[in-house]
Amino acid sequence: MTDRPEHQLSADINETRDSADILRQELLKEISRLNRFSTRGLLALSLFLVVSILAWWSFSFLPAPERVTAVLGKPPSAPIISIVLLIYTFSAIILSLSRMAAGIEHGSSFSHVGFLTAFFLFYYFGKSLDENFWAVFGSGITILGVESYRIWTFCAEGISKSMEDIEYVNRTGRPPPQE
């Protein structure tokens, strides 16, 4: 066994302590990021509610449907839009549930708000928004509710794992074993 000078041992201990502090800081940054990310679903849901209120008021700030259809042409019929809405709703829910099962971090909630806004607009320009408002609203609440829950559970699991890693670093001074 080789004898190491005392100052060498002291340097090794300080280096280990510094690397543990750096690792602890990285884990705390990850927890902070996940806390911020966990609100993404609720923000998208809030934005959808604002769009829904505007749709409920029949998009009073938009030009009349007749003026827009004169420029763009006739919109699809309400039954066609409804079929596409139904397909989109089931596809979005299945995609979100598969991401949840796979544990994938994906923040697509805002794209759903865009698609749902497009459905509101199609119904508005097709002059059938009053009859179909609740279909889009119900689809949006369902899709964004599932998305919000998926994002929240992903972040909660990540925060829990990071907290366990911090406890391991505090206890041992070493990085946690990788799974």
* Residue 58 neighbours by CB under 8 Å, 6+ apart: 124, 129, 130
Cβ-contact 162, 48 below 8 angstroms: no
Per the confidence metrics, is the pTM higher than 0.85?
Answer: no
- Determine the 3-state secondary structure of 173 from DSSP: coil
Residue 9: pLDDT band by 50, 70, 90 thresholds? very low
Each residue of 43-75: pLDDT tens digit?
A: 999 999 999 999 999 999 999 999 988 998 888
pLDDT value, residue 6: 55
Distances (CA, A) of 98 to 91, 114, 135, 175: 11, 21, 24, 31
Distances (CA, A) of 77 to 58, 71, 142: 18, 17, 24
Cβ-contact 45, 144 below 8 angstroms: yes
pLDDT value, residue 2: 53
SS3 readout for 37-54: HCCHHHHHHHHHHHHHHH
Q: Which of 11-20, 51-60, 107-116 has the lowest mean pLDDT?
A: 11-20
